[in-house]
Amino acid sequence: MHTTTTSSVNLKEILAQVQAFVETELYPLEAEARGKSWNQILPQLEEKRRRVKELGLWTPQIPVEWGGLGLSVWEFGQVSAVLGQSPYGHYVFNCQAPDAGNMEILIEFGTPMQQERFLKPLLAGEIRSCFAMTEPEHAGSNPVFMSTTAVKSGGDYIIDGHKWFTSSADGAAFAIVMAMTAPAHENKYQRASQIIVPLDNQGFKLIRNIPVMGEAGEGWASHGEVRFENCRVPQEFLLGEEGAGFAIAQTRLGPGRIHHCMRWNGICERAFDLMCRYAVSRELSPGVPLATKQTIQNWIAESRAEINAARLMVLDAAQKIDEHGQYGARVEISVIKFFCANVLQNVLDRAIQVHGALGITEDTLLSFWYRHERGARIYDGADEVHKSRVAREILKGYGMKKLGK
């Protein structure tokens, strides 16, 4: 049960505005963008961003004092599900990963200097950023198993390391980098720190945009493999305390996960809509639409059920975060992370199957999402990792102490 708040009176209007914007401004853009690269479509996206600012809908997830709409997680969840209906939604409203996560931790942990130099232009949409954590040599599921180091030298840190899946590194103005500052610290959760690295640094190299499911992409729509070699940054670019890298990452990942889930729900709704439209219009023989087949009907009903489940669970988790903070909602966050990622894959798979050969072409959005969201069950914690975490948290309540990893 959700208590009515003042802002939620307003929410209905915001949702209606956002829905209208997505349908009238972004859907047409999708067709135009087909076959074009990120940079080719960027001018039009920047134009849309200006429109969003004019409408007063910019950075809806950000506190009012920083220029956003100040929506709660529960409120933003609903906005995000609308934005997710188009691949351009979040970017155009400046609430896209990885920037949104970086905004959050810069607001919470940044020094005034850092906020002035990095946060403000990010909030304004003037620059982009990235977050460099995962390393190809180490399993991402083990966040304390890492090789990148940051060693003090004079007033600087010298960073050396190899990262990948540094999303949107291509063209980003700065990265927030996880690096070992005390690799031998007895508490393994205090070995790493987060350091801001402007990417015009000579010690930084974008090795490649990794081809993900066949597509390397570019600009914001890319996933970088990067290298830091003798990369010097002033110590004042340390984010938060030294040794707090893991703790800040946790702070960042919790909301990051629910933001993904919200966005996936939007994708699901769009795929569901495409599936229904096609089912009633595609004819198996003259006058007999696909929708007359019981198998298609089953898929529509099962998809509706799963999407409803995903939506309600995300909103429920959002409400828990609003009330108890993200640590208090950690079980719910892990539950939705794996549940919603699987719903997403199921719904996209069914929508493609309904479309037949058309479904595997680029003539709908389904193929794009099918490819690009296969990672949903992997990034920010694989299904398996979240399932074990959920079980261990629950079993603690049954008296379990040690449950292995």
Residue 216 is inside which H or E element, if any?
A: none
Q: Minimum distance between the CB of residue 216 and its own copies, rounded to whole angstroms? A: 9
Distance (Å, whole) CA 359 – CA 348: 10
Compare residues 95 and 133 and give the one whose CB is closer to its own copies.
Answer: 133
Q: Among 33, 45, 182, 212, which residue sits at the site for its own copies (rule: CB under 8 A)?
A: 212
Least Cα distance to 98 among 223, 239, 212, 198 occurs for 223
In the DSSP assignment, the letter for residue 18 is H
Q: Which of residues 111-170 bind its own copies (CB under 8 A)?
A: 134, 136, 138-142, 145, 164-165
* Token pair of 8 as six digits: 């939620």
Q: Does 328 bind its own copies (CB under 8 A)?
A: no
Q: Does 386 bind its own copies (CB under 8 A)?
A: yes
Least Cα distance to 198 among 112, 292, 273, 130 occurs for 130
Least Cα distance to 261 among 365, 346, 334, 348 occurs for 334
Judged by DSSP in three states, 330 sits in helix
Q: How many residues bind its own copies (CB under 8 A)?
A: 95
Compare residues 44 and 72 and give the one whose CB is closer to its own copies.
Answer: 72
Distance (Å, whole) CA 278 – CA 399: 52
Q: Minimum distance between the CB of residue 387 and its own copies, rounded to whole angstroms? A: 4
Q: Minimum distance between the CB of residue 303 and its own copies, rounded to whole angstroms? A: 9
Q: Minimum distance between the CB of residue 61 and its own copies, rounded to whole angstroms? A: 19
Q: Does 370 bind its own copies (CB under 8 A)?
A: yes
Q: Which of residues 232-291 bind its own copies (CB under 8 A)?
A: 276-277, 279-280, 282-285, 289-291
Give residues with Cβ within 8 angstroms of 256, minimum separation 6: 97, 100, 101, 380
Q: Minimum distance between the CB of residue 391 and its own copies, rounded to whole angstroms? A: 3
In the DSSP assignment, the letter for residue 85 is T
* Token pair of 162 as six digits: 């190899």
Q: Does 12 bind its own copies (CB under 8 A)?
A: no
Q: Among 50, 229, 305, 325, which residue sits at the site for its own copies (rule: CB under 8 A)?
A: 305
* Token pair of 136 as six digits: 């190809």
Stretch that binds its own copies, among 43-51, 191-199, 243-251, 393-401 (CB under 8 A): 393-401
Cβ contact 310:339 at 8 Å: yes
Distance (Å, whole) CA 227 – CA 283: 53
Q: Among 32, 113, 297, 328, which residue sits at the site for its own copies (rule: CB under 8 A)?
A: 297
Stretch that binds its own copies, among 91-99, 121-129, 151-159, 302-310 (CB under 8 A): 302-310
Q: Does 338 bind its own copies (CB under 8 A)?
A: yes
Cβ contact 254:326 at 8 Å: yes
151: left (phi over 0), alpha (psi -120 to 50) or beta: beta
Q: Which of residues 57-116 bind its own copies (CB under 8 A)?
A: none
* Token pair of 249 as six digits: 């990452």
Compare residues 237 and 246 and give the one whose CB is closer to its own copies.
Answer: 246
Compare residues 116 and 283 and give the one whose CB is closer to its own copies.
Answer: 283
Q: Minimum distance between the CB of residue 33 and its own copies, rounded to whole angstroms? A: 13
Q: Among 36, 153, 302, 327, which residue sits at the site for its own copies (rule: CB under 8 A)?
A: 302
Compare residues 205 and 392 and give the one whose CB is closer to its own copies.
Answer: 392
